[in-house]
Amino acid sequence: MKAGIAGSNPDGTAPTLALSNLLREVGEAVFSLNTTVVGLDAVENGYEKPESLDISWNPIDRRIAARKTRKFVLESVLIHVSEALNQYISALSGLPRFVDIREAWAMPKADDSAAKKLTDVAFALLGRENYRIAGAVLLVHWRNRIVHKASRARLAGPLKRLLQENETQIALDYKSLSIDCLFCHFEEGRPSLKDVSSLIAMTIKLAKEMDKQIYECFSREDLQVWLDYYNLLPQLEKVSSETKAEKLQESIKRVFSTNAPQLYDYYIRFGRVKKGDD
């Protein structure tokens, strides 16, 4: 799997800080996965432990040892990516447009699981026909089954059908990935490298598509939330209080250029936003 995850959104706009954090976390996980896969190939093909490594390692069967370790690493990466995705959804859901969704999660006996939150936010931004939503939700469920051995988390019928109905396109997009095999591996708890790399690729593509939609109908209230998220308000207030009037605009622009260039035009459009503004 390629480790080069970072990049702009589909329309060329800079990603939100939340997406940048997700891309960084996933990129590091993928790089570690790829490095481990290379190392395990060496194990299977006769690698000898250097004397300088003060560890106990003498597998009876190198192939079995390598395959068990690969499964462990694949599961670890699924967990890591799922947690990073959860943080991304948490950041997006703080926007004013999702207030009704957040209130529904807070109701007694409401389903406020990571999978439900992902589904609600993704559906609100992209509609219900994007098969990558189902792929990302499957990744989250797989994480739950790894972490909680008694978990029976699984895709709801409509999401499962969404993957099945798009199996031809998925096979084209993800190097002949078989949805039947994917479901089988999920139920049996034995992720393959193709399964994991494909689900991660779907998740990243989905996040970029969602991030693009954040800038549609962008409001002053959205700007307030992102300024809080980026922790820019203290910096802007400091600049405003310490900078001469004729240099203030340039200094403010420099703050945004360094931290969140995509927000500068909105800040100018909506006027100054102060800490505590509604």
Regarding predicted confidence, which is higher, 120 or 149?
120
Band the pLDDT of 46: cuts 50, 70, 90: confident
Percent of the chain with pLDDT over 90: 77
Give me the mean pLDDT over the 253-269 stretch: 91
pLDDT attached to residue 10 = 53
The angle subtended at Cα 128 by Cα 85 and Cα 219, nearest 5°, is: 65
Band the pLDDT of 11: cuts 50, 70, 90: low
Give the pLDDT confidence of 128-153 residue by residue, as tens digits. Answer: 999 999 999 999 999 999 999 999 99
The angle subtended at Cα 161 by Cα 184 and Cα 71, nearest 5°, is: 25
pLDDT attached to residue 14 = 76
Whole-number Å distance between alpha carbons of 201 and 248: 42
Band the pLDDT of 15: cuts 50, 70, 90: confident
Please, what is the average pLDDT of the chain?
A: 91
pLDDT attached to residue 4 = 45
Backbone angle region of 219, left / alpha / beta, with phi > 0 → left and psi within -120 to 50 → alpha: beta
Examine the pLDDT at 93 and tell me if it is beyond 90.
yes
- From the number of C-beta atoms within 10 Å of its C-beta (0-12, 13-18, 19+), residue 272 rates as exposed
Q: What is the DSSP string of 136-162?
A: HHHHHHHHHHHH-TT------HHHHHH
Give the pLDDT confidence of 146-174 residue by residue, as tens digits. Answer: 999 999 999 999 999 999 999 999 999 99
Whole-number Å distance between alpha carbons of 115 and 269: 36
pLDDT attached to residue 144 = 96
- From the number of C-beta atoms within 10 Å of its C-beta (0-12, 13-18, 19+), residue 211 rates as buried
Examine the pLDDT at 112 and tell me if it is beyond 50.
yes
Examine the pLDDT at 12 and tell me if it is beyond 60.
no
CB 220 within 8 A of CB 270: yes
Whole-number Å distance between alpha carbons of 18 and 16: 5
Boundaries of every domain in the chain = 17-214, 220-270
Of all residues in the chain, what percent are helix, strand and coil, respectively (each to 5)? 70, 0, 30
Whole-number Å distance between alpha carbons of 22 and 62: 35
Give me the mean pLDDT over the 102-119 stretch: 94
Examine the pLDDT at 2 and tell me if it is beyond 60.
no
Band the pLDDT of 8: cuts 50, 70, 90: low
